[in-house]
A and B are shown apart, each in its own frame.
Chain A
Amino acid sequence: DLSEFRDRSKSGSTGQHMTIYEVIDRLRATFRSGVTFPEQFRMTQLQNLLSLVEENEQLIQDALHKDLHKPKFESVLSEIQITLNDLYFAMENLRTWMQPEYNIGKNLATRMDDCFIRREPLGVVLIIGAWNYPLHLILLPLVAAIAAGNCAILKPSEICQATEQLLAELIPKYLSQDCYAVLCGGAEDTKSLLKNKFDHIFYTGSQVVARSILLAAAPHLTPVTLELGGKSPCFIYGHIDIHKAAKRLCWSKFFNTGQSCVAPDYVLCTAQTRDALLPALRETLRTFYGPDPGASLDMGRIVTPRHWRRLMDMLEKSKGKVVIGGESREEDRYIAPTVLVDVQESDALMQEEIFGPILPILTIESLEEGIDYINRQEKPLALYVFSDETSVVTTVLNNTSSGGFCGNDGIVHMALPGLPFGGVGASGMGSYHGRWGFETFSHRRGCMNRSWLLERVNVLRYPPYSDYNLGWLRWATTFKKNSWGGCSVM
Chain B
Amino acid sequence: MEKQAVQRAREAFLAGRSRPLEFRVQQLKSLQRMITDRQGEIATALKQDINRSQYDTPLFELIGLENEISLAVSKLAQWAAPRPVERNLLTISDQAYIQPEPLGVVLIIGAWNYPWALTLQPLVGAIAAGNAAVVKPSELSEYSASLLKALLPRYLDQELYPVVCGGVSETQELLRQRFDHVFYTGNSTVGKLVMEAAARHLTPVTLELGGKSPCYIDKDVDLRVACRRITWGKFVNCGQTCIAPDYILCEPSIQNRVVEGIRQTLLEFYGPDPKSSPDYGRIINQRHFNRLMTLLEGYTATVGGQSDSSQRYIAPTVVKDVPPQARLMQEEIFGPLLPIVTVSDIDDAIHFINEREKPLALYVFSSNKKVIKRMLAETTSGGVTVNDVIMHYTLNSLPFGGVGQSGTGRYHGKHTFDQFSHHRACLVKSLGMEEVHMVRYPPQNHQKVRRVRLAMRTPLVDFSKGTYIWAVTASIVALGLLIALTVILILAAGVNCTCL
Using CB atoms and an 8 Å cutoff, list the residues of chain A in contact with chain B. 32, 34, 37, 71-73, 76-77, 81-82, 85, 88-89, 92, 104-107, 109-110, 113-115, 117-118, 120, 122-123, 199, 207, 210-211, 214-215, 217-219, 221, 223, 226, 228, 240-241, 244-245, 247-248, 251, 287-290, 296-299, 375, 386, 388, 393, 397, 401-409, 412-421, 424-426, 428-431, 443-452, 455, 458, 461-466, 469-470, 473-474, 477-479, 481, 485-490
Contact A408 B385 (CB under 8 A): no
- Whether the pair B188, A450 counts as a contact (CB closer than 8 A) is no
Docked CA distance A450–B367 (Å): 11
Residues of B within 8 A of A228 (CB): 202
- Assembly CA distance A226 to B205 (angstroms): 13
Known: A298-B442, A474-B63. A218 touches B192 (CB 8 A): yes
Enumerate chain A residues within 8 angstroms of B277, measured Cβ to Cβ: 463-464
In angstroms, Cα B14 to Cα A115, docked, is 40
Partner of B444, one of A73, A448, A477, A485: A73
Residues of A within 8 A of B410 (CB): 444, 446
Given contacts A288-B441, A429-B204, A446-B384, A405 and B424 within 8 Å (CB-CB): yes
Kindly list chain A residues whose C-beta atoms are within 8 Å of the C-beta of B475: none
Contacts A214-B202, A419-B98 known; A110 to B442 CB distance under 8 Å?
no
Across the interface, B199 reaches (CB within 8 A) one of A120, A218, A421, namely A218
Complex Cα distance A267/B271, Å? 75
Known contacts A404-B424, A431-B423; is-contact A426 B85 (Cβ 8 Å): no
Identify which of B103, B191, B199, B377 contacts A215 (C-beta below 8 A).
Answer: B199
- Check A449–B269 contact: CB distance below 8 A: no
B273: which A residues are within 8 A, CB to CB? none
B121 to chain A, nearest CB (A): 10
Chain B nearest Cβ from A426, distance in angstroms = 6
4 extra A-B contacts, CB within 8 A, seeds A449-B372, A485-B413: A296-B442, A415-B456, A446-B384, A463-B53
Bound Cα distance A406, B95 (Å): 10
Closest to B64 in A: A488
Q: Is the CB of A448 within 8 A of B397?
A: no
A418 touches B55 (CB 8 A): no
Q: Please tell me if the beta carbons of A418 and B85 are within 8 angstroms of each other in the complex.
A: yes
B388 closest partner in A (C-beta): A450
Distance to closest chain A CB from B363 (angstroms): 10
Asked if residues B202 and A474 are in contact (CB atoms below 8 Å), the reply is: no
Do A393 and B398 have beta carbons less than 8 Å apart? no
User: How many Å from the CB of A427 to the closest CB on chain B?
Assistant: 9
Closest CB-CB distance, B203 to chain A, in whole Å? 8
B426 CB contacts on chain A under 8 angstroms: 397, 404-407, 413, 419
The answer to whether A465 and B429 touch across the interface, beta carbons within 8 angstroms, is: no
Query: Do the beta carbons of B452 and A104 come within 8 Å of each other?
Result: no
Residues of chain B lying within 8 A (CB to CB) of residue A77: 440, 449, 452, 456
Give the distance to chain A from B11, nearest Cβ to Cβ, in Å.
Answer: 13
Q: In whole angstroms, how far apart are the Cα atoms of A88 and B459 in the complex?
A: 9
Chain B, Cβ-Cβ closest to A477: B63
Query: In the complex, which residue of chain A has the Cβ closest to the Cβ of B280?
Result: A463
Q: Mark B378-408, 1 if CB is under 8 A from A, else 0.
A: 1011111111100111111111110111011
CB distance from A456 to the nearest CB of B (A): 11
A106 vs B269: C-alpha distance when bound (angstroms): 29
Digit string of B43-75 for contact with A (CB within 8 Å is 1, else 0)?
000000000011110111001101110110010
Of B285-293, B319-327, B335-343, B430-438, which binds chain A? B430-438
B204 and A105 contacting across the interface, CB-CB below 8 Å: no
Distance in angstroms from A46 CB to nearest chain B CB is: 15
Enumerate 28 A-B pairs (CB-CB under 8 Å) in ascending A order.
Answer: A37-B377, A73-B448, A77-B452, A77-B456, A81-B453, A82-B456, A85-B457, A110-B395, A214-B198, A215-B196, A247-B437, A405-B425, A408-B429, A412-B90, A416-B86, A417-B458, A418-B87, A424-B422, A443-B380, A446-B400, A447-B385, A451-B387, A461-B59, A466-B55, A478-B67, A479-B71, A485-B71, A486-B413
CB distance from B182 to the nearest CB of A (A): 12
Q: Are B381 and A219 in contact (CB under 8 A)?
A: no
Bound state CA distance, A117 and B415, in angstroms?
A: 12
Distance (Å) between the CB of B260 and the closest chain A CB? 18
Task: Give Cα distance in the complex from A424 to B388, angstroms.
Answer: 39
**If the complex has contacts A92-B464, A251-B441, are A486 and B70 also in contact, measured as CB distance less than 8 A?**
yes
Q: Is the CB of B403 within 8 A of A445?
A: yes
Tell me whether A488 and B270 are in contact in the complex, defined as CB-CB below 8 angstroms, given that A85-B457, A407-B428, A421-B425 are known contacts: no
Q: Which residues of B contact A412 (CB under 8 A)?
A: 90-91, 427, 429
Evaluate contact between A401 and B397: CB separation under 8 angstroms: no
Cβ contacts under 8 Å, B453 to chain A: 76, 81
Whole-angstrom distance between the alpha carbons of A464 and B195 in the complex?
41
How many interface residues does chain B have, given as a range? Answer: 35 or more
Q: Whole-angstrom distance from the CB of B287 to the nearest CB of chain A?
A: 24
Q: Which residues of B contact A298 (CB under 8 A)?
A: 442-444
Listed stretches B140-148, B224-232, B249-257; interface member: B224-232
Q: Is the CB of B70 within 8 A of A479?
A: yes
Cβ A447 vs Cβ B376 within 8 A: yes
Interface pair B67/A464, CB less than 8 Å apart = no
Inter-chain contact A248/B437, CB cutoff 8 Å: yes
Assess A397 versus B386: contact at CB under 8 Å? Given A404-B426, A415-B456, A486-B396: no
Closest to B226 in A: A452
Cβ B382 vs Cβ A92 within 8 A? no
Q: How far is it, in angstroms, between the C-alpha of A290 and the C-alpha of B441 when the chains are bound?
A: 13
Is there contact, CB below 8 Å, between A448 and B431?
A: no
Interface assignment of B207: CB less than 8 Å from any CB of chain A: yes
Alpha-carbon separation in the docked complex, A210 to B71 (Å): 37
- Shortest distance in angstroms between A215's beta carbon and chain B's nearest beta carbon? 5
Evaluate whether A408 and B413 lie within 8 angstroms (CB atoms) in the complex, with A478-B66, A488-B67 already known.
Answer: no
Q: Is the CB of A226 within 8 A of B202?
A: yes
Shortest Cβ distance from A459 into chain B, in angstroms? 9
Residue in A34, A115, A465 whose CB lies within 8 Å of B56: A465
The 6 nearest A-B residue pairs measured at CB: A418-B85, A446-B398, A214-B199, A465-B55, A298-B442, A413-B427
**Central interface residue in A223, A469, A478, by most chain B CB within 10 Å:** A223
- B444 near A92 with CB under 8 A, answer no
CB-CB contacts below 8 Å: B181-236 with A: 188, 191-193, 195-196, 198-200, 202, 204, 207, 209, 222, 225, 228-229, 232
Residue of A nearest to B464 (CB): A92
On whether the beta carbons of A455 and B225 are closer than 8 Å, the reply is: yes
Asked if B59 contacts A447 (CB within 8 A), the reply is: no
A412 and B400 alpha carbons, distance in the complex (Å): 35
Q: Across the interface, name the chain B residue whose C-beta is closest to A459.
A: B228
Cβ–Cβ < 8 Å partners of A122 in chain B: 403-404
* Residue B279, interface by CB 8 Å: yes
Return the chain B residue nearest A462 by Cβ: B232
Q: Which residues from chain B contact A397 at a C-beta distance below 8 Å?
A: 99, 426
* With contact pairs A115-B398, A446-B383, A486-B67 given, residues A199 and B404 touching in the complex (Cβ less than 8 Å): yes
Q: Determine if A420 and B425 form an interchain contact, defined as CB atoms under 8 angstroms apart.
A: yes
User: Are the C-beta atoms of A419 and B408 separated by less than 8 Å?
Assistant: no
Give complex CA distance A449, B66 in Å.
25
Most chain B CB atoms below 10 A, which of A76, A240, A431: A76
CA A41 – CA B53 in complex, angstroms?
Answer: 52
Question: B257-287: which residues lie under 8 A (CB-CB) from chain A?
Answer: 268-271, 277-280
CA distance A189 to B192 in the complex (A): 24
Q: Assess whether A489 is in contact with B64, with CB atoms less than 8 Å apart.
A: yes
Q: A73-B449, A413-B426, A486-B68 are in contact. Are A450 and B391 (CB under 8 A)?
A: yes
Measured CB to CB, the closest approach of chain A to B444, in angstroms, equals: 4
